[in-house]
Structures are given as structure tokens and as C-alpha cells.
Structure 1
Amino acid sequence: MTDATESSRTDGAETFLQTTRTSYDAIAKDYAAQFPAGGWHPLDRTLISAFAELVTERGKAPVADLGSGPGHVTGLLDGLGVPAFGVDLSPAMVALARDTYPQLRFHVGSMTSLDLPDATLGGILALYSTIHVPDAHLPTVCAEFQRTLQPGGHALLAFQTSEAPGQMHLPERFGHEIDLDYYWRTPEQITAVLEEAGLELVATVRREPAGEEKRARAFVLARRPDDGT
């Protein structure tokens, strides 16, 4: 890889990270009000509970909720006995989460470069947080999942999906000017990138839109293989 190519990718990462951070800082309070704690679809809650059981049966290694937003899913994991902490790109979101769940740990960070040691996480949860990551940077994110997971650790991703890949740009939300790109991917796309990073597929689930949802939801559960497997 040439220095010019590497520089271009770095610049691209900084651009989408900055626009995503600024956008969620602007809408943090409205977003938290729109999506309160406990508003999960029953199937979503069941899958999160299954994930919690998988990671706790292997021990008490910490679990990272990546893209933790106002902290509700981190709080749910904590209630299920998971030693969870939250990471979010938006300082405003992190501040909200700390206010709402003062007993839990939240910090500002990026999935593209996790400030975490190798092989220390029992699990990773990324619910609707990879949807803002451009295709070019998704392999880096999945490689970070593989790097930070312990052997045997699980990662659960959730995202809006469609029959074919797509992209949408949103310039406004909740009356605020923003600059957000959304990427719709199929479970097969996500699985391929996870496997390329060294993780193995455990399960995929797809459910149709419910209530005011406009797109189907997909869940992909993967794991880092045990040592020697």
C-alpha cells in the first residue's frame, strides 16, 4: 500500500468520524427521548439476553457496548449480570449515559481504533452502530472486534437491512442540521467481512419492520475461534 493510499484512507476515516460525532452531539437529547429505555422489540430483547448468557457462561470478562448512545443497552446488559461498559463516538451521548447510569462506565471512542488491549473482551455488542461506517472502513472495524475479543468471545451486531445494499444521506433530524450517511447491508455482507477478519458465524436472524420501523432488522452473531481451533 502506498503512503498516498494510506493517507487517503486515514483522511476518509477522520471525515466520517467527525461528521457522525458532530451529528449525534446535535441530536443526543432528542434521540434519547425518542428511544427510551425498555422500548425494545421482544425479539431484540430475547437475542440480547441470549448474547448475555453466551458471554457470562464463559466467565466475567468485560463486554463492550459499542455505539452505546444514551446507555440503555449497556444498562440492560448490566441488569442481566453482564459486566458491561459503553463506548460512543459522541461526547454528548456519553454525557447522557453517565448521567442516566452513574454506576456504569462510559467513554468516548471509535470502533475503528478501540482504546482497549488485545484479547480482553468477553463480548462485543454493536447495535445499529455500524450503519454509519463506510464500506471501505468496515474491515478495520471488524478487525478491531477480532483483536479485542478473547478466544471464544462473541460479537452481536444489529443493523437495518434490505434485499440489496443501499445508502442514504440525512441532512436533518429532530429539527437539527446534521450530516449523516447510512449504509444498508445484507447479513451476508456483514458475515463476509467478519469472517475475513477471523471471526466465525454463529447465527443470523432477520425480522420484518414493526410499528413505525421502515426497514427490516438483521442480527449477526459471530465469535472469535478458541485457541487452536
Structure 2
Amino acid sequence: MEPHERQAAWEGLSTTYADRRDPDGSDAALINDLLDQCPADPTIVDIGCGDGARTLANLPADSVGVDFARTGLSLAADTVPEARLAQADMRHLPVAEAVADGLTAYHAVFHVPRARHPDVYAEFARVLGSGGVLLSTLPGGRFETVRRGWMGGEMFFSAPGRDRTLEQLRTAGFEILATPTATDPLGSSTEFVLAEYTG
């Protein structure tokens, strides 16, 4: 899928995804692990925020939510009206260098082609700066596919595998702090990575 096709897919599926997923769960609780690593009153950027119920609503009030789809941002504006919202590709974030203390990317990076994942992690590092902390889904397998019939539409998924993802993060300057497992919004067990950008 080309970027405009992925964006169009999310425009069509954002509401269905928000309606079908559980806004609570153990992966939402992992946000406390991220916040424990951040200073008081942190600036947090939530990548792929969607409707905001799972992550953005559990972050500090003035956090920044970024999504590829305007539909998701409209939902987030209702769910978390105090959040700052921006429509953008995660490879080109509309955020200044080294302004964020933390960054969340739940079930987001694997919607970008795996060949571009190093670009994503480099952009995350740019926004975080030294000492910033990332909490992201850690894909267990290696795949690149379009799932037809997903949420009644189709969606692109791509990942290089667990070990390669951790290697890419280290190459981008991240130190791996933990790889906890939690329940994802659709009820499956998912591994996450908590990592600090050390430059």
C-alpha cells in the first residue's frame, strides 16, 4: 500500500476500530512505566493516537496526539479535548527537536513499510533528544501484508521481526530498558519495548 492508500484506509476504519477495541487493559497501564522514567510535568507525544481512548486519555493533559487520519483526530478531539492534535506521517513529525520527554507508539509503526522503520526510529530520536523515553509495540514476527477484511476493510502491516526491531532501535541510539508483555486493544497478548534515547 502506498502512503495515500494507507491514509485512506485509516480514514475509513478509524471509527470502526475505536468502536471495537477495549479502551482499558494492561497495555494502557504500561504508560505508568513510561511516566515513571520522565520528569515532572512531562511533554509526551502519542504516535498513532486514533480516538485517544487507549493512550492519549491516560497521558498528561497537554500531551500531543499525532495520527495519519483526520477521522481519528476528530474522535480524539472529542475524547481528549485538552490534548494538542496534529495530522502527520510519523516519519515527518511536526514537532521541534528534543522537545519531548516521552513518546508512545502503540500498534502504529507496523503500518509503515519495514524498510522505512529505521527512518521512523530516527525521527523518534530527533523529537525525544537525550534521555527521552519511548514506549512502543514490539512486533514478534517478520511480515509484510495487506489484511483484507480487517475491521471490514483492508489494512497494511509490516515488521522486520522482534530481534531486528530491537537492533534498529539500538542503532538509532536507544537503550532497551524493558520488554513487558500486555493485552492489546483487541484482546491479544502483545510485547512492548520501553527504551531510552541516549544518543
**Would you call these one fold, judging by a TM-score over 0.5?**
yes
Shift of 1:184: 4.3
SS at match of 1:151: coil
Structure 2 counterparts to residues 18-167 of structure 1, below 5 A = 18-38=4-24, 40=25, 42=26, 44-55=27-38, 58-72=39-53, 73-78=55-60, 83-162=62-141, 165-167=142-144
Alpha carbons of structure 1 residues 212 and 100: separation in structure 2 relative to 1, 3 Å: closer
RMSD value over aligned CA atoms? 2.3
* Structure 1 residue 17 displacement after superposition: 2.1
Question: Does 2:156 correspond to 1:170?
Answer: no
Aligned-pair CA distance for 1:210: 10
Change (3 A) 1:69 1:112: same
Secondary structure class of the residue paired with 2:7? helix
The Cα shift of 1:83 comes to: 4.2
What does the per-residue CA deviation read over 1:121-148, in whole Å, with 9 as the maximum and x for residues that have no partner?
0011000001111121101000001111
1:48 deviation in Å? 1.7
1:187 aligned to 155, 162, 165, which one?
162
Identity over aligned residues, as a percent?
25
2:172, 2:195 → 1: CA distance?
Answer: 11
**Range 167-176 or range 124-133, more displaced:** 167-176
Q: CA deviation at 1:98?
A: 0.6
Residue 218 of structure 1: CA displacement?
1.3
Contact 2:7 2:68 in 1 (8 A): yes
CA shift in 2, pair 1:166/1:174, >3 Å: closer
Give 1:45's aligned amino acid: A
What TM-score comes out, normalization by structure 1 length?
Answer: 0.78
Evaluate the alpha carbon distance shift between residue 29 and residue 210 of structure 1 in structure 2; reply closer, same or farther with a 3 A threshold.
closer
Correspondence 1:221 to 2:198:
no
Match of 1:201 in 2: 176
Larger % of helix: which? 1
Alignment coverage as a number of residue pairs: 198
Give the partner amino acid of 1:77: L
Return the TM-score normalized by structure 2: 0.89
Q: 1:159 to 1:26 in 2, by over 3 A?
A: farther
| Counterpart amino acid of residue 36 in structure 2 | E
- Alpha-carbon distance in structure 2 between the residues aligned to 1:211 and 1:194: 26
The change in CA–CA distance for 1:30 and 1:154 in structure 2 (over 3 A counts) is same
Q: Give the Cα–Cα distance (whole angstroms) in 2 for the partners of residues 75 and 132 of structure 1.
A: 22
1:223 aligned partner, one-letter code: E
Instruction: Find the aligned partners of 1:212 and 1:61 in 2 and give their Cα distance.
Output: 30
Q: Which residue of 2 aligns with 1:7?
A: none
Q: Tell me which structure has the larger Cα radius of gyration.
A: 1
3-state secondary structure, aligned to 1:172: strand
